[in-house]
Structure 1
């Protein structure tokens, strides 16, 4: 089966992207605020107990993020003027009102991230999926006062119909397709993909790869330095994917702070949100839904 959602477009053949104020890199934090059901296996620090009910080891590890870790991370975000793009489960929107209140006070951006991270977004008929997505969107909008414009599925999951249904519900972009350093058009007019990362992602780096805090910091710096150099030719997006139960741990917090300080200290960086990246790209690219229809230049707004 061929991928018909988007067309092939090598980065060397595209029109130049110019971010506001001539920035080389548009940087945003993708902050995962999630709820996990106690009776279902999910993201685990030790698979040995993952299928037990209850599973205090793994459930407690995940629950640390919304109870403690996120509040430590907020201090760093505030220090550097970073407004996270929150990948929000609708169940989390209902269950953690203090987090929602903190985000509203700071003008965070809210994206739909499914209902719960104990449930992947798959195996639904179109009518069922539409009802499901309407409930997710309305729950998040009610809690945050902001109707989401962006989507990332739990575990970056979609059905083949998800982008079309999201478009009908007023969405402008998805994060699931981690195929690029720049936004790109889907073959669905008005819908784009905004870069996210499964590589520059604390869950993979600390979990699967067992990185130390220093290695995490070095990886972020190396990613930024290369994208900053690439951005001299055409603007790039740097997404830093974070989970409060991972980077919010006490012994890791200083490395996040150190990395954000490095990025924020550079001229030519747009500290922004995924919503603002999508809005700027759509406004200036004149998208018609096909990579082949992109104009030969993007001008600064």
Structure 2
């Protein structure tokens, strides 16, 4: 399989212009990853040499800090600036951390399905699910989140590093979802290929994302805050030519640590002072695009495919 299984190549300079509500040119959202990790399974670790232990108090405790403490610190910060996040939610959070769901509902958070937990289901890295097995898995995740939050999810982010199978997008579209965040290859939404329903890609980021930046690249808090501002300023400039989306990915067990949070706050404060941007959610970005641009862009992509002989 190749990338054309999922989408057409369509460079941003060749697309019709789009605008966000009120003529805004740059949409910004925070992707807040709230996750559950099963005990006794090797996963994201702050110290790899203990990751194979069972139990592993060091790494499991570090991850669990996010849901016990870090999330409440982040919640206060978002409340302060009136930011409603897109919560990338493992379904198991509904079972193990109901207080988080309760407070998120009280704040009308945007819930985006993020698999059952971050310890299972990853495309080719684990035994491949058959399509009907995957459909059952997806339905279980979606129904669990809807029951707990009272809202049906419209979007999806694959767990365990944006994992998908070759059937995931078709199955999600068939289940009524309208967008995925897994394909981190663009600054705008665009239509995905599917045999059932209509579904799009909405930009997400593994660059402006605390997990790889702090744990893999060793960034400091001040560098993280400045990187968010730098990303914003360049996208803000680029958006004069073509409207853009900026995603900021955070995890409570990473940015929820006290010595890091202050630098996220500095970046949010800076962005919040700008008057010509749309601070929003991934749901709202997807809905606006689907309503105003999806049909015409699908037609344009058909023309592109014909020219390319695809």
1:148 and 1:230 map into 2 onto residues whose CA distance is: 31
Superposition TM-score, scaled by structure 1 size: 0.95
Tell me: CA distance 1:74–1:294, structure 2 relative to 1, closer, same or farther (3 Å). farther
Asked if the contact 2:6–2:193 (Cα under 8 Å) also holds between the matched residues in 1, the reply is: yes
2:278 and 2:108 map into 1 onto residues whose CA distance is: 16
Alpha-carbon distance, 1:73 to partner: 0.5
Asked if the contact 2:27–2:245 (Cα under 8 Å) also holds between the matched residues in 1, the reply is: yes
Greater relative CO, 1 or 2 (CA 8 Å, sep 6+): 1
Runs of 5+ consecutive residues of structure 2 not aligned to the other structure: 304-310
2:223 and 2:299 map into 1 onto residues whose CA distance is: 36
Write the mapping of 1:165-244 to structure 2, written as runs, cut at 5 A. Answer: 165-188=171-194, 190-244=198-252
CA distances 1:197-256 after superposition (whole Å, capped 9, x unpaired): 011000011111111111001100000000000111121000000000000001111111
Alpha-carbon distance, 1:63 to partner: 0.1
1:281 aligned to which of 254, 275, 289: 289
1:72 and 1:140 map into 2 onto residues whose CA distance is: 23
Matched position secondary structure for 1:87: strand
Pair 1:267-2:272 in alignment: no
What's the RMSD between the two structures over aligned residues?
A: 1.4
2:307 aligns with: none
Runs of 5+ consecutive residues of structure 1 not aligned to the other structure: 296-301
1:134 aligns with: 139
Tell me: CA distance 1:14–1:94, structure 2 relative to 1, closer, same or farther (3 Å). same
Tell me: CA distance 1:181–1:9, structure 2 relative to 1, closer, same or farther (3 Å). same
Superposition TM-score, scaled by structure 2 size: 0.92
Asked if the contact 1:288–1:294 (Cα under 8 Å) also holds between the matched residues in 2, the reply is: no
User: Structure 1 or 2: larger helix share?
Assistant: 2
Aligned length: 295
Runs of 4+ in structure 1 over 6 Å off: none
CA distances 1:267-292 after superposition (whole Å, capped 9, x unpaired): 11101000000000010104378473
1:114 aligns with: 115
